[in-house]
Amino acid sequence: MAANPWDDKTLDPDKRADLVVKQMTLDEKITVVDGLFGSVARLNGREIEPVAGVLMGSAGHIPGVPRLGIPAQEETDAGLGVATQGNTRDKVRERTSLPAGLATAATWNPEIAFQGGAAIGSEARLSGFNVMLAGGVNLTREPRNGRNFEYAGEDPLLAGTIVGAEIKGVQSNHIVSTIKHFAENDQETGRMVASAEMDDDQARMSDLLAFQIAIEIADPGSVMCSYNRVHGTYACENDLLMTKILKKDWGFKGYVMSDWGADYSTAKAINAGLDQESAWVFDGINHFGDDLKKAVADKSVSQKRLDEMVHRILRSLFAKGVMDDPVKPGPIDYAKDGAASQADAEEGIVLLKNDGGLLPVKPGLKKVVVIGAHADVGVPAGGGSSLVYPVGGNAFPGIAPTTWPGPVMFHPSSPLKALKSRLGQAEIAYADGVDPAAAAKLATGADLVLVFARNWDGEDHDEPLTLPDNQDALISSVAAANSKTVVVLETGNPVLMPWLGKVSGVVEAWYSGTSGGEAIARVLTGEVDASGRLPITFPASLDQLPHPQLVGTDKPNIPGGPAYALDYPEGAAAGYKWYDRQNLSPAFPFGFGLSYSTYAYENLSAQEEGGKVTVSFTVKNTGSRPGKSVPQVYVGHQGDGWEAPRRLAGWQKVVLQPGQSKQVTLSVDPRLLAHYDGKTHKWEIAKGSDELSLGSSSRDFTQKASVDLDAKSF
């Protein structure tokens, strides 16, 4: 068969896309930009069937143009694995789930993030999907945000680096990944109506910088614009975000797709930079179908702009390998992908408190008591569109809500069973924790008590920072009965710990995914080091937050409803930067986490050459166990538009045997030495001295150095 001219792989993706666009009819162009839903939509009490040919239960379907060899775009959620939409007519897809995005960020290990992305991207591919709606990178500003667990924490460098690596892993399977939700969609309360009123320069240095870094690392095929408004304009109609910043300033060559139900117009959205309407049934009106044809006819959308939209989509399909290496369903290697998920979960578990070295669990214990959170059967997951249905089914079905954003899911990987298989000699008892007095009685006299505590974060709602279901009382009464109590948190966000002073240990295990039980047991028993570090600050109390009360809980959240302002008094000082600026002491600071070994950081030096700063130091394992250290470098500067005293400037995760030392050299992204100035439209480095601090968290520095910088703009 004669090849089409665009089949020539030696041509660049832009050229190839141009060659196709030239051959396309108006109807074919419309087909490519007009997204359909891939499942049964339940809207206003009605059930709307999807068109024939969708991968049932999927997030979206854009028919192909077989005449020109353009494949259908088959879209699946999300960043933790291949999800299934609620209301599917078919069986759900049971797939591998990575741990929460926060857990992956807590690894501080881009290689782990890449491997996780590669695993879920391969499952997408083998399930017939060529577009994965992964890559959530909204910064944690509101710790009650029900979707924080999908994202990568509060720091733009850490979040951008980890999410960039994950997207790269997804796309290594020759499929497109998105990055989302662009932008400033930092809480679920009011997400359909609220207007983010963040200063634009401060946004460039925080939320937008996280996107920019991830996009530079991964070059995702698509960006998903978000539900919320920004300065009164919907993100998917926002020229500043989509065209000026993303496409012009950052040179993004892929396409922008709308979130599901986030597009309110045809010409307005398109002329502001939206390239594809997703699952239009959620928009109520099909803006990119016949309405777009009319808009082209009446010239409110130019032919040139329509061609550009199609070009951007096809360009991504060429650039990411979708055209040359079409997806083909096939058998999935669950053991391999489960191992990637487990490695991710293990490195992301954060040991927050370990009084008396109770952990790792010592050999020879006689009696261990495990309590709560259904640890006898599985580990919890978060809810919403990112929910991956586990192979083997829900380990504890029936907890409300059982429909979207539920069901409340437990992956069938039991920490209790994984502990039993490792602590064969000990008597291990379990209590469900529903009755605190009974649990305390069981705990009395045990050599070790592990209380598992969980919350349920999910899309479309925010959650208080207080553990639900009387679990604080449970922990307090167990700790009163036995001081050798360790709390294992399985939460999608920080929680307040009124019992902190009464327990000996605290472990944050997040939502730990497909192999979570094994991962938790391996960290608790010290088979692997505790090497996670917090990607978010744990507040000591709600009054420390920029908004002690969630904003907007009293406002209706109806698509198209009246806007209300969501202000961000912290500006770019999200998370630890706010605590530093306000001089607040959190419960646990950003970057914190204990290891089973100890480390010394020495010989810090900093060099400046042509505005580029590098730092070097040595890290030594001074303990008696092999371990993984995460030395962190923060840069500080006084004044000149800096949002806070210090910013994370670099880190490395270093594997060390006892007594071993390694030399680390890091270069500092020049944007982290600068502030963004909307007047000059540039990053500005101010003349002066910058202080570099080396330590084990954002609050614990052992070494300092400084560099003198000349003024520079770029």
Of the residues 70, 105, 113, 133, which one makes contact with ligand BGC according to CB under 6 A: 133
> Quick one: which H or E segment has residue 105?
helix 101-106
Least spacing, CB of residue 175 vs ligand BGC, in Å = 15
Sites for ligand BGC among residues 559-598 (CB under 6 A): none
Instruction: Give the nearest distance from C-beta 59 to ligand BGC in angstroms.
Output: 4
Q: Give, for 295, the enclosing helix (H) or strand (E).
A: helix 290-297
Helix-helix angle 290-297:303-319, to 10 degrees: 130
Q: Check: CB of residue 63 under 8 Å from CB of residue 31.
A: yes
For ligand BGC, the binding residue among 28, 34, 77, 472 (CB under 6 A) is 77
Q: Which of 32, 78, 119, 269 binds ligand BGC (CB under 6 A)?
A: 78
Residue 379: CB minimum distance to ligand BGC, A? 22
Is the CB of 133 or the CB of 467 nearer to ligand BGC? 133
The smaller minimum CB distance to ligand BGC, of residues 104 and 385, is found at 385
Q: Quick count: other Cβ atoms within 10 Å of Cβ 397?
A: 11
Residue type, 67: R
Tell me if 59 contacts ligand BGC by CB under 6 A: yes
Q: Is residue 345 involved in binding ligand BGC (CB under 6 A)?
A: no
Token digits for 179? 């990055």
Which residues, 223 to 282, sit near ligand BGC by CB under 6 A?
Answer: 259-260
* Through-space distance between the first and last CA atoms of the chain, rounded to whole angstroms: 51
Which long-range CB contacts under 8 A does 434-438 form with residues at least 24 apart? 436/470, 436/473, 436/474, 436/476, 436/477, 436/478, 437/477
Nearer to ligand BGC, 38 or 517 (CB): 38
Beta strand spans in 587-687 (E): 599-609, 612-621, 627-629, 632-636, 646-651, 654-656, 661-668, 675-677, 682-685
| Least Cβ distance, residue 500 to ligand BGC (angstroms) | 34
Nearer to ligand BGC, 77 or 570 (CB): 77
Pull the structure tokens for residue 200: 């634009």
The radius of gyration of the chain's CA atoms, rounded to the nearest angstrom, is 25
Residues contacting 249, CB < 8 A, separation 6+: none
- Name the minimum Å distance from CB 36 to ligand BGC: 12
Minimum distance, C-beta of residue 78 to ligand BGC, in the bound complex (Å): 6
Q: Write the DSSP assignment of 574-596 as a string of letters.
A: -THHHHHHHT---SB-TT--B-S
Contacts of 366 (CB under 8 A, 6+ apart): 426, 427, 447
Looking at the Cβ atoms of 77 and 490, the one nearer to ligand BGC is 77
Stretch 620-649 residues interacting with ligand BGC (CB under 6 A): none
The interface with ligand BGC within residues 382-411 (CB under 6 A) comprises 385
Query: Is the separation of the CB atoms in 143 and 494 below 8 Å?
Result: yes
Nearer to ligand BGC, 458 or 591 (CB): 458
In the complex, minimum distance from the CB of residue 278 to ligand BGC, in angstroms, rounded to a whole number:
7
Does residue 463 touch ligand BGC according to CB under 6 A? no
- CB of 77 or CB of 123, closer to ligand BGC: 77
Residues 592 and 696 sit within 8 Å (Cβ to Cβ): yes
* CB 259 to ligand BGC: min, Å: 5
Considering the complex, what minimum distance in angstroms separates the CB of residue 556 from ligand BGC?
Answer: 18
Nearer to ligand BGC, 16 or 180 (CB): 180
**Interaction of residue 163 with ligand BGC, rule CB under 6 A:** no
Q: Using the minimum distance from each CB to ligand BGC, give the nearer residue, 227 or 596.
A: 227
How far is C-alpha 283 from the geometric centre of its chain's CA atoms?
A: 25
CB of 140 to ligand BGC, least distance (A): 16
Provide the CA 75 distance to its chain's centre, in angstroms. 18
Give min distance, CB of 566 to ligand BGC, in A.
17
Q: Least distance from C-beta 99 to ligand BGC, angstroms?
A: 18
Q: Which is nearer to ligand BGC, 134 or 474 (CB)?
A: 134
Our CB check for ligand BGC shows the closer of 39 and 491 to be: 39
160: closest CA among 570, 603, 669, 673? 669
Q: Are 533 and 513 in contact (CB under 8 A)?
A: no
Distance CA 127, CA 537 (A): 37
* Cβ-proximal residue to ligand BGC, closest one: 385
Decide whether 238 or 515 has the Cβ nearer to ligand BGC: 238
Residue 180 touching ligand BGC (CB under 6 A): yes
Other Cβ atoms less than 10 A from the Cβ of 525: the count is 17
Output 106 or 133, the one with its CB closest to ligand BGC.
133
Smallest gap from Cβ 532 to ligand BGC, in A, equals 25
For residues 410 and 394, the answer to whether their CB atoms sit within 8 Å is: yes
Q: How many residues bind ligand BGC (CB under 6 A)?
A: 8
Using CB under 6 A, list all residues that contact ligand BGC: 59, 77-78, 133, 180, 259-260, 385
